[in-house]
Structure 1
């Protein structure tokens, strides 16, 4: 269902993005920006593959991730550079305007893209992410969260694990926090087993030199932009609190929040049908 290619998006430094895409009308392109960032796009293929035919679903691996170019200098891994790559990808695909879905960290990059090239993003989906900053006390008193995140926190503190293996181990250890429904966990672990993890972005992050991906004053700027915006969230998200979706929707007239019950950070895994229906319905609006 997906065709896979390498697309050149930068000459200096030389960067190629690995891109998987489905068949579908070019004028209904959906650009999907994965999170991590040291993951790849593959954990999002399902259920988004269900849009194939109605939409051309385009899923790149960000620079330094998956099968895209790695080995760049640390200062070449920035949210600004990733955003520029996506603009170049749209140019290379001959896509003047696209719908954009950003997931988790990719939701921050997607906001940057919409703000950087007004008019090229037709509709924006910010999934399991946030327009508003996460308050330091957002999860206070949630004992189950503390229990579920403990294993991942322990992995990040392990000095013996090399880069990509640390990213992988943290993802597996954090699975119980990312997926809410126990019955969804085995399938999610299988999905993680196919992800090509990297650690390119981890280096500047650990060094404290990675710039924040969150656009400054994003709510006000997105409100002024007026792009139709779907804030799609799982009720039990333990990374970005679901309450922020509703708060952002109150600040942005063009936004609507959809919070899916019995779903965690990986809401598309916990409740794939409801999640895909929300995305498809939003994209179908005129």
Structure 2
């Protein structure tokens, strides 16, 4: 189903992105940007693989992530650099206009990509992410969230772990918060076992030196551009509050929302059919 390759996107420093793609028409290309950022793209392959044939689906590991170039200096891991890599990737594929799906942290990078090259993007899906900043009190009073997120918080405070081992341990510990339905948890843990975790971006993040990925004027600029936008969100997302979805649609006339019930941050795992139907319907 997926053809894998390595694509050069930068000469200074040398950066190559690991890319997986499905068969499909070039004029119906969907670029998928993963979250983390110290994860890879593989946890998003399903159910998006079902779009193959109708769409060419391209999933790339960001620099420092998965099987893409690692070992760069800390100042080379920035949202701006990741965005520039993706523009170069589009050039390498010779794709003039594409659809973009950004998931979680990747949703922030996706917004930057649209703002950097609006002529290249036909439609934008922001999945389990947000255009607007998350208020500090957004989850106040949600006690179940506190309980479900406690194991991951304990991992981040464990000084005996570092690098990819820390990223993986945090992802596994946070699984019960990222999926909502207990019955899908075993399959989600199996999916995590196949992720190529890294720790490249973490170094700057842990000392507070990683620039924010959130564009300060994203809502205003996306509204002005009028790019068709789908906000795809799980009702029980514990990372990005669902309450921001309605506010965003009021600010951006070209935006519409699909909120999936009984689904957490990994809504594509909790409710894969509803999630994929929303994506496919929006892109049609």
User: TM-score w.r.t. structure 2 length?
Assistant: 1.00
Question: CA offset at residue 206 of structure 1?
Answer: 1.3
CA distance in 1, matches of 2:207, 2:15: 23
Match of 1:205 in 2: 205
Match of 1:186 in 2: 186
Question: CA offset at residue 162 of structure 1?
Answer: 2.2
2:211 partner SS: coil
Residue-by-residue CA offset, 1:183-205 (whole Å, 9 max, x unaligned): 11010000000000000000111
Q: Which consecutive residues of structure 2, in runs of 5 or more, have no partner in the other structure?
A: none
Residue-by-residue CA offset, 1:195-246 (whole Å, 9 max, x unaligned): 0000000011112211000011211110001000000000000000011111
CA distance in 2, matches of 1:247, 1:233: 13
Match of 2:107 in 1: 107
2:269 partner SS: helix
CA RMSD of aligned residues (A): 0.4
CA distance in 2, matches of 1:275, 1:208: 34
Match of 1:164 in 2: 164
Match of 1:145 in 2: 145
Question: CA offset at residue 70 of structure 1?
Answer: 0.1
1:119 partner SS: helix
2:161 partner SS: coil
Residue-by-residue CA offset, 1:152-196 (whole Å, 9 max, x unaligned): 000000000121100000000000000000011010000000000
Residue-by-residue CA offset, 1:15-65 (whole Å, 9 max, x unaligned): 000000000000000000000000000000000001000000000000000
Q: Which consecutive residues of structure 1, in runs of 5 or more, have no partner in the other structure?
A: none
2:200 partner SS: coil
CA distance in 2, matches of 1:131, 1:234: 15
Matches within 5 A, 1:135-284: 135-284=135-284
Residue-by-residue CA offset, 1:112-150 (whole Å, 9 max, x unaligned): 000000110100000000000000000000010000000
How many matched pairs?
A: 284
Match of 1:18 in 2: 18
Match of 2:86 in 1: 86
Q: Which of structure 1's runs of 4+ aligned residues deviate more than 4 A?
A: none
CA distance in 1, matches of 2:245, 2:76: 31
Matches within 5 A, 1:19-98: 19-98=19-98
Match of 2:117 in 1: 117
CA distance in 2, matches of 1:138, 1:217: 20
CA distance in 2, matches of 1:246, 1:55: 29
CA distance in 2, matches of 1:244, 1:53: 34
User: TM-score w.r.t. structure 1 length?
Assistant: 0.99
1:63 partner SS: coil
